[in-house]
Amino acid sequence: MSEPLSDTTVAVFLAPRGTENVEFTEPKSALEDAGATVEVLGTETGEVETVDDDLEPSATHEVETAFSEASPEDYDALVVPGGTVGADELRVDDDAVGMVRSFADAGKPMGVICHGPWVLVEADVVEGRTLTSYPSVETDVRNAGGEWVDEEVVTDDGIVTSRNPDDLPAFCDAIVESFADE
């Protein structure tokens, strides 16, 4: 079986709290299954607990590299999971926002799901792009100059977005395809 991402290194964000577990684990697994090297980035290294349905404690995962120690040049692609609290934590972290901005400026592909587009808004990379997200993020996307659509998965200029965990099969397929094309 071919591994389309065998020469690809992907950064996956993990917020200090509140990342939706399946929005972290399923894309990470899909990328690894496609041959990518995946590195988990967060505010600081160590164990972080994710959540289910935004409120229930879930699994614990290891942050391998702190945002402040990571360089966008070391990665070919980026994934920003959702979770209301997790995405909110990420959008107020200057290093996380700066990394998203660097990826956009360099034209590197990104996969962003659910509330994750808040980080795109904060990085000021939404203007002129079509995105989808969790419905409550629609106004933020529009106010940032983007077009919001209610679709399972949207790819626009290297940024793949999806609405919620129900969209994960399509999202995972789309990020693997998008990251392989770069």
Residues near 32 by Cβ (< 8 Å), separated by ≥ 6? 38
Q: How confident is the model at residue 182 (pLDDT cuts 50, 70, 90)?
A: confident
Which residue in the list 10, 87, 100, 114 is annotated as catalytic? 114
Q: What are the structural domains, with CATH classification, of the chain?
A: 9-181 (3.40.50.880)
Reply yes or no on whether 172 is catalytic.
no
- The model's pTM: 0.97
- Angle, alpha carbons 45-51-56 (nearest 5°): 140
R_g (Cα) of the chain, nearest Å: 14
Query: How large is the angle between the packed helices 168-181 and 21-33, nearest 10 degrees?
Result: 40
The predicted-structure confidence for 47-104, as pLDDT tens digits, reads as follows 999 999 999 999 999 999 999 999 999 999 999 999 999 999 999 999 999 999 999 9
Q: What does the mean pLDDT of the chain come to?
A: 97
pLDDT at 1 over 70: no
